[in-house]
Amino acid sequence: MRLEYFQLIDRIVDLDLAQQTICAEARVPSASTIFEGHFPGYPLMPGVLLIEAMAQTSGWLVIAVTRFSRMPFFAALKEAKLRSFVHPGESLSLSAKLLHEGSGYAVTRAEIRCGSKLACNAEITFRLVEFPNPEFRASMEKMAAILEFPIGALAHG
């Protein structure tokens, strides 16, 4: 995780286009100015950032399913449950499943586990739009490479 860049996942470890699922991993930094305020003397990963991590995981799944033809923008969140505290330095397993790919939107169900413990889960809706410009798309392709997004799998899925 690079919180200062709003990069909430480290690596995509599995992408199954047939099952329309994705798995990713992330390690919460041991230190961040965020933990100085959230909370002094009791640092916790903010729930809103856990939700963003689920959204980013889901977003890469949607990008995969739509073959990099649409950019998913976070639009709605339902049934979000923050079930357990996540502390600095912990390793997270993130996963998402596509519930529906509509015309111009997609819905996923996502969760984060810390070890065997379910940390949070939610249903997330995205608006799908064409990439607004080539520079933005290029930046997403660059990020895909950083995250080891299996872009080659899209041609065979």
- Provide the annotated active-site residues: 38
Nearest distance in Å: CB 78, another protein:
9
By CB under 8 A, residue 104 contacts another protein: yes
Order of all β-strands in the sheet with 11-16: 11-16, 21-27, 91-101, 105-114, 117-129, 71-82
Please list the alpha-helical segments (H only) found in the chain: 33-37, 47-65, 134-146, 153-156
Nearest distance in Å: CB 18, another protein:
19
By CB under 8 A, residue 103 contacts another protein: yes
In the set 100, 142, 146, 148, which binds another protein (CB under 8 A)? Answer: 100
Q: How deeply is 15 buried, as exposed, middle or buried, from its count of CB atoms within 10 A (0-12, 13-18, 19+)?
A: buried
Our CB check for another protein shows the closer of 86 and 124 to be 124
In the set 87, 97, 127, 137, which binds another protein (CB under 8 A)? Answer: 127
